[in-house]
Amino acid sequence: MSQTSIICVEEAIKDLFDNELDYNKILKSYSGDIKTGAVSLFQRLFVEFLHFDWVSGTSGGIAESLPVGEWSERARLKDANIIAEKDNFKVVYITLEKLTRTAQRYAISSLTSKGWAMKGEFLAVFHAPQSKVWHLVSPHISEGAPILRRFVVGEGEQHRTVSENLAKMDAELSMPLFERVEDAFQLKTVTNEFYNEYKDVFGRIKEHLLSKGVGIRDAKKFSHLLLNRLMFIYFIQKKGWINDNKNFIGWYLDKYKDSDEGEVFHKKWLNELFFSAMSKKPSEKNINTGFGKEVCEVLNNIPFLNGGLFERDDDVDKSDIKLPDKLMFEILDDFLEKYNFTVTEESPFDVDVAIDPAMLGRIYEALIAEEERGKAGIFYTPRVEVNLMCRLAIFEFLSNKAKDPDDAYKRKIIDFLFTPIVDWQGSEHDDFRKLMDALQSVKVVDPACGSGAFLIGMMQVLKELYRKLDIEPDYELKNDIIHKNLYGVDIKDWAVRMAEFRLWLAIIEEEVDIPEKEPVLPNFTFKLKSDDSIVQKIGDKFIRLEDIKAELYGELKDELKKP
């Protein structure tokens, strides 16, 4: 297949997702039967565009029905159908009661118990009756729990990346299909592409500012702060919490282009969004001129999230820095608008093929601090290693909470911590019910938290453990975990700020409706600190590390001398 043919397939898939995978359109076209309409659309995708074989049901049904009576009840399944196949690789359309990642994991676990699906030789299209998006999930089966790789398509989603990647699954290509599916669901390719484009855009903003006489320090700080604020809005808008619009920035930019104004998108429109609309309570805002009635109304009703990120910076926001429209359009239209963003961070066993909040940390660690990375000890720790460190730390904590734990009790703790959630059966056992109090009392401190990788990893593990105890982590529980269990310190202020953002997004990732509190995102001032965790000064008194060591050593010697 030629490169031109591949591009044509990509464009056809993107057009299908952009213009036809619309919940309301399907509902209207199929007289309220959303499943029949969606199955027909996805069969068209895989059969017409990707050259799979059509799978029809008995007696003229739209697809082959799968018996689901023995599937896990926790999947909250409604039905499942095989809709297409090729070379023993199947596409399965699964309707859930609610479109949750936990339910998807139980459904995938039930599927992989089937003879034809043990190695992940399938792609699952998940949907729930009222959902306006669909999840395309490919499980990577290896030792331990399967890794679920996911594209989200439908209302409010950008479809460039998923279209390019699904085109790799065209059955007419020469590489074995299973290998091409693995390639299509690789997150690393997407994040590397995003980082390289970010680096290029960052450089263009910085060079423009330098050409206008801005100093190098302020040019870098401004470039980085602007992109940070924009990315944060891209994450938040995925929740539909800004004017009920998952593409708010695109809408806002179009409104500016339709206006009679020029060369003021950054200086006027973005600054009003950042420093008025995003940083004040609705009751304190009075934006009523200069933008048109509709835009003013939207800006006035943007919820008060948290003012930290959108407070004016003394160094760069109070200066006369402004960017031309051409550069702003390149940043938005040619860069950020191309990508799908997700508020759900990658875990070792669940990955959205999209830009997640961890990218904020990767950018800082790889780009912003590249001049001092080695000297300052700034390094990226892979997710798998973070996950293991968190579980081992909790193992030590739970073991120490017990009085003289024997090997059998330690074995139970290991099972609690390391058994995949879909295989977990012990939540009713008294020993495990007692662990709830212990989890609520754990204090986790990362004395060099960086951009929050360990803290996010610990929160993910704690959420899983609560689920094993049949407690679903809601907004309040996640808020409690952060406020009662997690603490962090880092000498780099930017790192602490990144950790705050990621913890904020971790709280709201599964919330459908915006919490009824102001600010929506809590204040972590006393949980995350920008400081030196090796304390050398308390008040006006300087404490030498040598004195602390000598005192501790003396106490240790006295303790050892005791009979």
Please report, as a single letter, which amino acid is at residue 244: D
What does the pLDDT read at residue 550?
Answer: 66
Which of 154, 185, 216 is a domain's end point?
185
- pLDDT band with cut points at 50, 70 and 90 for residue 544: low
Average pLDDT value for residue range 47-73: 87
By percentage, how much of the chain surpasses pLDDT 70?
88
Helix and strand totals (H; E) in the chain? 22, 13
Q: Which of helix, strand or coil describes residue 393? A: helix
Is 90 exceeded by the pLDDT of residue 361?
no
CA dist 550 and 66 (Å) reads 70
> Do 332 and 360 sit in the same domain of this protein?
no
CA dist 520 and 228 (Å) reads 19
> Do 180 and 266 sit in the same domain of this protein?
no
CB 51 within 8 A of CB 170: yes
Question: In sequence order, which ranges of 337-452 are alpha helices (DSSP H)?
Answer: 358-363, 373-376, 383-401, 407-418, 430-433, 435-441
- Domain assignment of residue 226, yes or no: yes
CA dist 505 and 41 (Å) reads 33
Phi, psi of 87 (to 5 degrees): 50, 45
What does the pLDDT read at residue 39?
Answer: 96
Given its phi and psi angles, is residue 215 left (phi above 0), alpha (psi -120 to 50 degrees) or beta?
Answer: beta
What does the pLDDT read at residue 84?
Answer: 96
> Do 441 and 470 sit in the same domain of this protein?
yes
- Domain assignment of residue 551, yes or no: no
Ranked by mean pLDDT, the top range of 225-234, 405-414, 537-546 is 225-234
Average pLDDT value for residue range 37-66: 90
Is 60 exceeded by the pLDDT of residue 530?
yes
Burial of 267 (0-12, 13-18, 19+ CB in 10 A): middle
What does the pLDDT read at residue 52?
Answer: 96
> Do 140 and 202 sit in the same domain of this protein?
no
More confident residue, 120 or 178: 178
3-state SS, one letter per residue, for 164-179: HHHHHHCCCCCCCHHH
CA dist 267 and 160 (Å) reads 30
| Beta-sheet strands, E only, within 447-532 | 486-490, 528-530
Is 60 exceeded by the pLDDT of residue 554?
yes
> Do 180 and 200 sit in the same domain of this protein?
no
CA dist 150 and 157 (Å) reads 13
What does the pLDDT read at residue 368?
Answer: 58
Residue 90: name the closest of 49, 44, 123, 138 by CA.
123
Residue 104: name the closest of 383, 352, 473 by CA.
352
> Do 495 and 376 sit in the same domain of this protein?
yes
- Domain assignment of residue 312, yes or no: yes
> Do 203 and 162 sit in the same domain of this protein?
no
Is 80 exceeded by the pLDDT of residue 539?
no
Bridge-partner residues for 341, per DSSP? 355
> Do 493 and 414 sit in the same domain of this protein?
yes
pLDDT tens per residue across span 467-516: 998 899 998 999 899 989 999 998 888 788 888 889 988 988 888 888 77
- Domain assignment of residue 496, yes or no: yes
Which of 185, 209, 229 is a domain's end point?
185
pLDDT tens per residue across span 169-220: 999 888 899 899 999 999 888 999 999 999 999 999 999 999 999 999 899 8
> Do 34 and 147 sit in the same domain of this protein?
yes
Average pLDDT, the chain: 87
Is 80 exceeded by the pLDDT of residue 366?
no
- Domain assignment of residue 71, yes or no: yes
> What 8-state DSSP symbol labels residue 544?
-
> Do 132 and 60 sit in the same domain of this protein?
yes
More confident residue, 549 or 186: 186
- Domain assignment of residue 136, yes or no: yes
Which tokens belong to 533? 């965790």
Is 60 exceeded by the pLDDT of residue 369?
no
Which of 185, 210, 242 is a domain's end point?
185
Residue 248, CA atoms < 13 Å, CB-side half-sphere: 24
What does the pLDDT read at residue 30?
Answer: 94
> Do 333 and 193 sit in the same domain of this protein?
yes
| Cα-based angle 124, 130, 132 (whole degrees, multiple of 5) | 65
- Domain assignment of residue 442, yes or no: yes
CA dist 501 and 166 (Å) reads 32
Average pLDDT value for residue range 380-402: 89
> Do 177 and 104 sit in the same domain of this protein?
yes
The domain total for the chain is: 3
Please list, residue by residue across 34-44, b when 16 or more beta carbons sit within 10 angstroms of its beta carbon and e when fewer do: bbbbbbbbbbb
- Domain assignment of residue 48, yes or no: yes
Expressed as residue numbers, the domain containing 270 is: 189-338
